């Protein structure tokens, strides 16, 4: 949902490509801005700062990251049990631990360079 977008960041190891299935997203890649609607691909090459903002309440997208390896960022650090149902878990009521997330991103070759959305002049 709106407000859960990632901060502006740079991947040092992989390219990231987005295929929008539902909703609208504004992508900020380098100094360029792209308005994406369903059926569009948007690519963020490694080494280029990028972020995006959700323009609609419902977003469904496929994210491709190549080469492989970054998927490890999304795995829990400890072993987990298989899901008991084909439903996502309920959202956490606790606020996200931003310093821990930034540290985990850095371990996977990603540097956070700004807040979500367009580049901040400066």
**Residue 48 near residue 30, CB atoms below 8 Å:** yes
Torsion of CA 26, 45, 61, 88, to 10 degrees: -110
Q: Is residue 77 part of a domain?
A: no
More confident residue, 56 or 84: 56
pTM: 0.82
**Residue 6 near residue 25, CB atoms below 8 Å:** no
Q: Is residue 1 part of a domain?
A: no
Mean pLDDT of 78-83: 63
**What does the alpha-carbon distance between residue 46 and residue 43 come to, in Å, rounded to a whole number?**
10
Note the pLDDT of residue 85. Answer: 80
Q: Is residue 31 part of a domain?
A: yes
Q: Is residue 83 part of a domain?
A: no
**Residue 1 near residue 31, CB atoms below 8 Å:** no
Q: Looking at the 3D structure of the chain, how many domains does it have?
A: 1
Nearest by Cα to 14 from 121, 120, 105, 113: 105
Q: Is residue 24 part of a domain?
A: yes
Note the pLDDT of residue 72. Answer: 83
Q: Is residue 68 part of a domain?
A: yes
Note the pLDDT of residue 57. Answer: 92
Domain that holds residue 37: 8-72+89-112
CATH classification of the domain holding 44:
2.60.120.10
Q: Please report the DSSP string for 28-50 in residue order.
A: EETTEEEEE-TT-EEEE-TTS-E
């Amino acid at each position: 949902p709106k407000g859960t977008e990632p901060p502006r960041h740079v991947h040092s190891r992989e390219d990231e490509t987005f295929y929008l299935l539902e909703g609208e997203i504004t992508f900020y890649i380098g100094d360029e801005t792209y308005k994406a609607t369903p059926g569009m691909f948007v690519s963020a090459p490694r080494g280029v700062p990028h972020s995006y903002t959700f323009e609609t309440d419902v977003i469904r997208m496929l994210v491709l990251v190549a080469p492989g390896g970054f998927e490890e960022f999304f795995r829990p650090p400890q072993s987990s049990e298989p899901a008991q149902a084909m439903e996502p878990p309920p959202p956490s009521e606790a606020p996200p631990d931003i310093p821990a997330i930034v540290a985990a991103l850095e371990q996977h070759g990603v540097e956070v360079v700004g807040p979500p959305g367009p580049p901040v002049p400066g």
